[in-house]
Amino acid sequence: MRYYKEMESPIGQLTLIEEEETLKEILFENQNIQDADRKSTSFLEMVEEQLKEYFEGKRRTFSFSISPQGTEFQRKVWKALEGIPYGEVKTYGQIASEIGSPKGSRAVGMANHNNPIPIVIPCHRVIGKNGSLTGYAGGLEKKTALLTLERSGDIN
């Protein structure tokens, strides 16, 4: 069974979705929940607590199980994103080179866009080659807020 819990955060409402004590998705308020029942499980409570600590600037890593669903290429990109340290950024091109697809910047961008577990898999830490902030599923204001939090310890 898949269960979901909604939580308020400084970047808006988030919906946390678990299956068998593994985080499967984090949805922003403009995204639809599919095939999940509303239920606050102990696992989802722990995920919510760790996300709250992250937003308070008290947590830099997460200690719960995740299982993003995607293609082999997407999973390779998402794994590379997990290697970007808190408060740092990399370009789409750097990620493409790291995973052995040096000309795959656009494909990396699409994998970022399809990341089912934003924040935890930190796609917000990926920027354009000229240092510009480019697309984010939750909107650029959320990406900016997350990067600001990680650089200054404050979401505002």
Selected catalytic residue, list 117, 123, 126, 146: 123
Tokens 């082999």 map to which residue? 72
The three-state DSSP-derived secondary structure of 45-70 is HHHHHHHHHHHCCCCCCCCCCECCCC
Tokens 């796609």 map to which residue? 123
Is there a catalytic annotation at residue 19? no
- For residue 23, the SS3 value is strand
Q: How many CB atoms lie within 10 A of CB 128?
A: 14
Quote the CA–CA distance of 1 and 76 in Å, as a whole number.
Answer: 26
Active site residues: 123
